[in-house]
Structure 1
Amino acid sequence: MIASLLCLLIPTVSFAQLTDAPTTLTVKLTSTAPYSFKAPDGSTIILGEVENTNNFPVMSVQIWAGFYDDHSKQPLETAIGTTILDIVPANGKAPYIITSPSNNAAITNVSVNLIGFNSAPIKPQVLTISPGPLRLGEGLALSGTITNEGESSTDLTKIHFISYDAFERIVSIVTVEVENIDAVNSIDFKITSDHNELALSYKIVAESKNYQSIMYQITDVQLSSATKLVTINNVAVTDPQGNKFSELKITSPVHITGDIWFRTSSDIESIQQPFVYYVQIIQIGSKGAVEFIGFTEGNFDNEVNQVPTVVWTPEHEGPFFIQVYVWDPDANPLSTPSSDINLVLVT
C-alpha cells in the first residue's frame, strides 16, 4: 500500500522555461513558469493565466507555447492557444489551456509567450454565482446557484472552476456547460471532478455568449468527513536540535516537522485514527522534479495534536519547495496539503 501511495504523490509536472516578457505590455502572463502535466493520452497540457491591466476589455488573446526536451534549446513542437473566456474584462484575469500537437513522450519542459490581443466590447457582468461549500475528499464537489440578472436569456453558458497552488499557478480547470438561463432567473449547478493535491485555493467564473460574471473566490472549503479533520500548521525545517533555518548544506540531514491537529465532533469520546505523514520536496526550476518523498506513520490515540518528523538529507544544490500531506493508511486524505509556503536553498 505504501509503495503504491508514493506513486500517487508524484505529480507529472514540469516547470516552464523562463521567458522574459516586456514590462510595458498591458496584457501579460501572470506566470512565466506555468503548471504543465501529461494527459492520459500522452499529450502535454499547459495551464496558465493572463492579466488585462487595461481599463477596457480585450479578446483574441494569443499565447505561444513551445514544448522542449532536455537536450535542445529548439522546441520539439509549438502551439498557439487563447483564454477560456472570450472576453477578458478590464483589470481582470482569464485562464488559458494549451495542448501539445502530439503525444510526444520526450517533452519535459515548456515555454510560453504572449504574442497579441485585440480590444473588445464590454460584456455585461450580470451573471452572479452563489457557491455552496467546496467538499474535498478523494474528489471534489461544488454545488451552487447561478443567476442571470440581465434583460435577455443567456446562450452557451459555461462555468469554470479553477484551482491554484501555493505559487498562485493554475493546476486544474473544470468546465461545465449549463442550460440557457432566462432573464432575471436562476438555475442550480453542480461540479464534480478529481482533486489535484497541489491545489490550495479555488475560484469560479461564468460566461455566456452575451454575459459574464466576476471571478469569485471559494472560501468555504470542507473535507467530506463530517466528524474528523486534520489540519497542518507550522511546517518547519530544523536541525536535530530544533533550530530553524532555510539555507541547507548538501549531505547534512535536516528534520521536517509539522503541527498536525485532529478535530472530532464533541460526542466522540475516544480517538483511534492511524495516519501517514508525507513530505514531498520539489526542485524549483525548469524541470520541477520531485527530489524526495519521505513518510512516517503514527496514530491519533486519544491525542488531538502530534508533531511528526521526517528526515531529509539533501543530495543536490538549488532551491526547493516543501509540501506536507496527511493521509490514512488506505491513501485517503485526512487533510488538504499544507498551506505554508516553505522554500529552502541547498548549497
Structure 2
Amino acid sequence: MRPGARCALALGAITVALLGLAGAAHAQNVDTEPTLGIRLTSTQPTHYVDAGGHTVIVGEVVNLQDFPVAGVRVQAGLYADGAGEPLELIVGGTILEVIPARASSPYVVRSGSPGLDVAGVSVNLLGFTSSAAKPRGFDLGDLRVLASDTLVVEGTMSGAGLGASDDVELHALVYDSFVPPRLLGVHSARPLDALGAGPAGDADAMFAASSADGGASVRYEFSLAYGEEAAMVRVIAESGSHSSNAAEARVMRTPSSPLMIQNVSLVSASGSPVTMPREGAESYIRSTIDGGGAEGSEYEYIAQVVRFGHLPVIEFVGSFEGEITPAGLAQPLVGWTPRSSGLFYIETYLWSADGVPIAAQGPVTLLNVEPRQ
C-alpha cells in the first residue's frame, strides 16, 4: 500500500484511501517469450513516483506451468534515458507468495532512493521454484466497482481460512481498458485475525468478522483515487496457508463528457469505404466525433488494431491530434497498413492533450484482412 494511504476494515468493512497514479501510457508491448516457465505480461509496466519520491513499478507475472510456483524474483532497472548505465537496479518479488498453476500474480518494485530522474524502466525475471499448492480458504463473492469522486470497490470474502489465519492479505488490482489490460496499481489491506484480537502487521487496518456456517465472513470496501483510465478491478486474497479465487468486475460509470466516438470505419485515401482490407495495402481508420458543447476542445484520437486469438495481440496503435470544429464535429483519420492477414478488431479512444480520457471507448469494429495478392 502506498505511503499516506489509509485503510480501515472494521465491523465487516474495509476502506482504503490512496493517491492515484500519475499519467498513463496509451499501449503496451507484450512479452510473449516464456522465461523458465513464467513470463511478464508486459515489458513496459506502469511506473510512477509515490508520495515519498520513490519510483514504483507495478506489473504481472504469469505462471505457464501446470504446477504452483513460488520464489519468483523480478529485477527492475531504472534509467535516466534509453541508454547507458541504470540509475538503480532493484530486485523484488510477487505479491502472491505462491502463484497457482496457469495463474498470475502482480508484483510491486520500489526504488531504494527517492528523487531519481527516471525516464524509462526495464524488467526481467530471475527465476522461481516449484511449490506445494495452498488450499483455497477464502471465497471472494460478487464484486461491484462504481466510479464517483473515487473508485469504490465493494465485495464479500468468506471461508474457513479467515478463522484459521491472522495474516490474511486482500489485494485490489486496477487495470486500464487496453488489450491486454495494463495493470495500473496494486492496493493491499492486511486485516486483523478473524476474531479481531489485535493488530496483524498493519497499524492502519482493523478487522472484525462474524462467524457463519463454520467460517468467517466479511464485507469489504476500497475507496481508490483513479480517473477515467481505470476500467477493471480484480481482487485476490492470500494468507500464509490459504489462497482464494479471483473476483473481477468492470468499472461502472456515467460518462460526463459531451464527446462521443461514432461510426468507426475503414476508408481509402480518397475517403471511399474499404470493405475488404488487404495485407500490405494502406487504408485509414476513420471515426466521427460528436462534440456538441465542446467546440474548440483539443483532443488526441487513438486507434488500436487487435488480432483475434486466445491471447489477443496488438497489431497496430496510431493517433491523430485535432480540435473540435465550431459545428461540434470532427473526423480524425489514422493511417494503417496491415502487416498480416486474418481476423482483427479496431478499438478507439479519445484523450485530452495531457493524456486523460475524455470520452467513452468507441464502438468495436470487426474486420477481416485478406492475404496479400
Q: TM-score range by the shorter chain?
A: 0.5 to 0.7
Residue 241 of structure 1 pairs with residue 262 of structure 2: no
Shift of residue 58 of structure 1?
Answer: 1.6
Match of 2:223 in 1: 192
Hey, what's the Cα distance between the residues in 2 that align with 1:160 and 1:151? 15
Q: CA 1:16 to 1:68, structure 2 compared with 1: closer, same or farther past 3 Å?
A: farther
Match of 1:143 in 2: 154
CA contact (8 A) 1:67 1:107 kept: yes
CA contact (8 A) 1:128 1:146 kept: yes
Hey, what's the Cα distance between the residues in 2 that align with 1:222 and 1:14? 21
**Identity of paired residues, percent?**
24
The correspondence for 1:29, drawn from 40, 60, 77, is 40
Residue 112 of structure 1 pairs with residue 123 of structure 2: yes
**Mapping 1:267-306, distance limit 5 Å:** 278-279=299-300, 294-296=322-324
Match of 2:349 in 1: 324
Hey, what's the Cα distance between the residues in 2 that align with 1:163 and 1:172? 5
Structure 1 range deviating more: 148-157 or 88-97: 148-157
**Mapping 1:8-19, distance limit 5 Å:** 11=23
Hey, what's the Cα distance between the residues in 2 that align with 1:44 and 1:339? 36
- Partner of 1:178: helix, strand, or coil? coil
Shift of residue 74 of structure 1?
Answer: 2.0
Residue 50 of structure 1 pairs with residue 61 of structure 2: yes
The correspondence for 1:257, drawn from 279, 287, 301, is 287
The correspondence for 1:222, drawn from 227, 243, 252, is 252
Hey, what's the Cα distance between the residues in 2 that align with 1:153 and 1:231? 51
Shift of residue 117 of structure 1?
Answer: 1.5
**Deviation digits for residues 313-339 of structure 1 (CA, Å, limit 9, x no counterpart):** 9xxxxxxx9863489xxxx98754558
Q: CA 1:333 to 1:193, structure 2 compared with 1: closer, same or farther past 3 Å?
A: same
**Mapping 1:172-211, distance limit 5 Å:** 172-181=185-194, 184-211=215-242
Residue 171 of structure 1 pairs with residue 187 of structure 2: no
Hey, what's the Cα distance between the residues in 1 that align with 2:142 and 2:329? 35
Shift of residue 176 of structure 1?
Answer: 2.5
Shift of residue 191 of structure 1?
Answer: 0.8
User: Any stretches of 5+ residues in structure 1 without a counterpart?
Assistant: 1-7, 262-271, 284-289, 300-305, 314-320, 343-347
Structure 1 range deviating more: 198-207 or 106-115: 198-207
What residue identity is the alignment partner of 1:25? L
User: Any stretches of 5+ residues in structure 2 without a counterpart?
Assistant: 1-19, 195-210, 305-317, 336-345, 367-373
Hey, what's the Cα distance between the residues in 2 that align with 1:159 and 1:38? 23
Hey, what's the Cα distance between the residues in 1 that align with 2:21 and 2:264? 18
| TM-score normalized by the length of structure 1 | 0.67
Match of 1:268 in 2: none
The correspondence for 2:331, drawn from 292, 298, 309, is 309
Hey, what's the Cα distance between the residues in 2 that align with 1:236 and 1:105? 44
- Partner of 2:152: helix, strand, or coil? strand
Structure 1 range deviating more: 274-283 or 197-206: 274-283
Match of 2:173 in 1: 162
Hey, what's the Cα distance between the residues in 1 that align with 2:216 and 2:97? 23
Hey, what's the Cα distance between the residues in 2 that align with 1:12 and 1:217? 21
Shift of residue 236 of structure 1?
Answer: 5.4
Hey, what's the Cα distance between the residues in 2 that align with 1:186 and 1:127? 9
| TM-score normalized by the length of structure 2 | 0.63
CA contact (8 A) 1:204 1:218 kept: no
Residue 89 of structure 1 pairs with residue 100 of structure 2: yes
Hey, what's the Cα distance between the residues in 2 that align with 1:66 and 1:209? 30
